[in-house]
Amino acid sequence: METRRVVVVSGGMGTPSSSRMLADQLAEAARRELHEAGIQADTTIIELRNLAVDIANNMVTGFAPPALADALQTVADADALIVVSPVFSGSYSGLFKSFFDVLDNTALDGMPVLIAATGGSIRHSLMLDHAMRPLFSYLRARVVSTGVFAGPEDWGAGSTGAPALDQRTSRAARELAGMLAGTTTARRPRGPETSLPFEELLAQVQGR
């Protein structure tokens, strides 16, 4: 059975986090759908809350500390990506956006991406199509048709979510598996990201 690398990025802030709960559910659904397609999923989950300080430092210095550099490389080497963000002010969180701002802007070229979000109202589900989908389209990723939103009512049936949420996660995971099954070879791992020399970074800043 061939193997595909699936990376799940959770932008949840709290512990426990509804974004992490949704991320776990999507990861399990992806594993199940990929297995049915004859593909084994090698799944890695990245929690951005653990990288918040490193991301902020990278934004102002241009250098990624080791933990962040490893996370960025893991995303770049993935065959598929599942991303989950809480909704803040009608969009994804600043931490979520900052992580993808420091990622090389060619890292997601052609990569299948499943987008998902959590929020306090069903109205927040509009963020998937108005904010998150355009972000990953700009990064030239292949975004699956079904986005998954989970609100407070979706967790009423327990930790695995309500039946309607189960149906949405299964449909989105099936679409992601279909994209991966249509790819005959895994994406080739990218070389480690390297930072520019300090003098060159300084010259870029002074030139702005």
* Residues 21-68 pLDDT 10s: 999 999 999 999 999 989 999 999 999 999 999 999 999 999 999 999
Alpha-carbon gap, residue 188 to 111, rounded angstroms: 11
Tens of pLDDT, residue by residue over 76-117, are 999 999 999 999 988 999 999 999 999 999 999 999 999 999
At 159 the pLDDT is 45
Rounded mean pLDDT, 159-175: 82
* CA distance readout (Å), 68 to 56, 102, 145, 161, 196: 10, 10, 29, 31, 16
At 147 the pLDDT is 96
At 169 the pLDDT is 94
Q: Put residue 91 in one of left, alpha, beta given phi > 0 → left and psi -120 to 50 → alpha.
A: beta
More confident position, 80 or 124:
80
At 164 the pLDDT is 85
The top-level CATH class assigned to 2-206 is alpha beta
Q: Would the pTM of this model clear 0.75, i.e. be above it?
A: yes
Task: Provide the β-strand partners of residue 143.
Answer: 113
Provide Rg for the chain, Cα atoms.
Answer: 17
Residue 11 DSSP SS3: coil
- Do the Cβ atoms of 5 and 42 come closer than 8 Å? yes
Rounded mean pLDDT, 164-193: 79
At 206 the pLDDT is 59
Rounded mean pLDDT, 182-208: 56
79 DSSP 8-state letter:
S
- For residue 66, give the amino acid letter: P
As a whole number, the mean pLDDT across the chain is 87
Question: Distance from first CA to last CA of the chain, Å, rounded?
Answer: 51
Alpha-carbon gap, residue 190 to 187, rounded angstroms: 9
Task: Provide the β-strand partners of residue 7.
Answer: 44, 81
At 89 the pLDDT is 87
